[in-house]
Amino acid sequence: MANTKSAKKAARQTIRRTAVNKARRARFRSSVRKVEEALASGNKEAAAAALKEAEPIIARIGQKGVVHRKMASRKVSRLSKRVGAIGTP
Question: Among 56, 55, 57, which residue's Cα sits nearest to residue 76?
Answer: 55
Which CATH fold would you assign to the domain 5-85?
Methane Monooxygenase Hydroxylase; Chain G, domain 1 (1.20.58)
Domain boundaries, the chain: 5-85
Predicted pLDDT of residue 63: 96
pLDDT digits (tens, 9 = 90+) for 38-61: 999 999 999 999 999 999 999 999
Predicted pLDDT of residue 89: 62
Predicted pLDDT of residue 32: 97
- Indicate whether 12 pLDDT > 80: yes
As a whole number of angstroms, the distance between CA 69 and CA 21 comes to 15
58-84 burial, b at 16+ Cβ within 10 Å, e below that, comes to beebbeeebbeeeebeebbeebeeebe
As a whole number of angstroms, the distance between CA 17 and CA 68 comes to 16
As a whole number of angstroms, the distance between CA 29 and CA 54 comes to 9
Cβ neighbours of residue 27 closer than 8 Å, sequence gap 6 or more? 57
Instruction: Give the global pTM.
Output: 0.86
> Which stretches within 2-68 are classed as H helix?
5-41, 44-64
